[in-house]
Structure 1
Amino acid sequence: MFNVAVVGATGAVGQEILQVLEERRFPVKRLLPLATARSAGKEIRFGGETYRVEATGEDSFAGVDIAFFAGGSASKEFALKAREQGALVIDNSSAFRLDPEVPLVVPEVNPEDARQHKRLIANPNCSTIIMVVPLKPIYDAAGIRRVVVATYQAVSGAGAAAIEELRRQTQAVLEGKEYPPQVFPHPIAFNLIPHIDVFAEQDYTREEWKMVKETRKILHDERLAITATTVRVPVFRSHSEAVNVETESKLSAAAARELLRRAPGVEVVDDPGSLQYPMPLTATGRDEVFVGRIREDISVDKGLNLWVVADQLRKGAATNAVQIAELVVSSGWL
């Protein structure tokens, strides 16, 4: 049994981590829910008990075995303090993902990397996690030369205020009224915004660079050619991705489908004749990465197209973090 802290326990990802810990019956001896001073004093339910949220401080982690950081500025401020006090930190922010000393782990893809942790493991970006789970079996079987991905990302990836903006904006449009955007730079209702996070080098957004750099680190292949376009869509929850893969050796659609059916964490939903394919509505609340529309790329000799969907608050964040903790515990790496 372990003393577990959840930093950001009142936010969307923090709440999801608590739910996943309870669902998967992670051996929690003592729970310490932490958040900002603004949220201190709120009550949460876990394991049939009520807990009062405390403000995160530099001395909050004494006696904590595992500290989940749900993301945000708290990671830069407190993650290293938690590590110094003896906790294993599993961090959902981008603060440490590209640090060569910090493992970046998706348990179905690179579990052995977690063994090298120095009491700090980074959880990858949600879109990266969703993509690399089905890429891994293809990479192992046929090699990958190039990946071209376009994402269709739900508004919940931008937080609770973004969900409310989509809801209110949609209602306003249907009633012939206006609802000026506040969270997003443009209206999101009945619209697509090809802009997630800030623009960075070469006019790619930081979200797009995350997918490039994190995928290379997870697959241990700095030569892998990847390009991404990340798009916000008017969907409440679960991200979708159109992934084009050019392989080193020929892999038929049938062979890829069979590989993916056997891959851990993947659920193949691919029956065009019955109109069966992954969708955000059916992926929401699930932990699997759903893959469908598996077909050969008719423009190149060795290419595949995949349609990939997963709940970004679960497998793309909370579930992956809890799976990392389970992996470390079960392997005796704590």
Structure 2
Amino acid sequence: MQIISDEKINEFKNFLGSHDFFYVISHKDPDGDAIFSSLGMKDILEAKGLSYQLLSAGPFKRPEIRSKAKFFSNQMIFLSEPERKKAGLIILDCSEMERLGEIDGDLKNLDTFTIDHHKTAAASENCIIDSTSPATAALIQQIYEKLLGKLPKQTAENLFFGLSTDTGYFRFLNTDSAEVFRQAARLVESGADPRKTYDEMTGGKPYSTRKLLGIMLDRVERRYNNKLAVTYETMEDTKKWGQEGRDSDALYSLLLSVDGVEAVLFVRQDTELTCTCGFRSRDKIDVSAIAAKFGGGGHKNAAGLSIDGKIPDVLEKICAEFKKVM
């Protein structure tokens, strides 16, 4: 990963100095990186004596983030028009307004700064975008250290958690990741506990998520010389077994461990007319490029999107794109 330039740090510092109040938000259906990078930003704002509100459309179904829901709201604090002119919006771990979800209030026309690490990030100004960073939490760590110095223990714990979730507890890193481990070492030096973090990431899964995982595994089909593993979740599945979330990470990990499988496609019917899709791949296949063709995005080996349609049609449309690269 790259080191954030002093120019970019100063750009963000000037953004902070230009506003009296900040809304901080990340994408809907938040994961560990979205939530814990938001908490890291909260610590930056508090340390600088700035007023803020953490926003999230939720839901907080993932066991590892559920306890943090109390720090967030889906209702914006009301500001008068003069106050709004002095307010800033900080978007973390995504760059598209439509991915923020349903928030009670008006996020439009606010001066905005985006911090993201996704390859398909759309922001081009007032932003810190680094697709070589494995997590937004890693960018927040650099910003904190350059603006304020050594991290306090709680901040280090939060950012280590965000980094760990988005790297699959460092399983997704390659030979160009030495700087990531140097940053992780500083977090541990500041009090982050690797063993505790791993236990919190992997433990406490509801029984229902194990049942749902079994259903999705039972439905798996392999296509294109067994290189693509495909499965899905119906609205009935969600109603019966998905109310406490799902263990998508375990699904992807199990399927990518199958001999010959190079990519995984998972489709969930969210409403009668819309689906959410998740993609994972090994080294060669760039799933972010496939997701981008349908308005989605992400990283080379992990991406997703929301799309209109029903499962059978959506599966065929997306599989047709996978076929072109397999």
Give the TM-score normalised by structure 1: 0.30
Give the TM-score normalised by structure 2: 0.31
The structure showing larger relative contact order (alpha-carbon pairs under 8 Å, at least 6 residues apart) is: 1
Comparing both structures, which one devotes a greater share of its residues to helix?
2
Comparing both structures, which one devotes a greater share of its residues to strand?
1
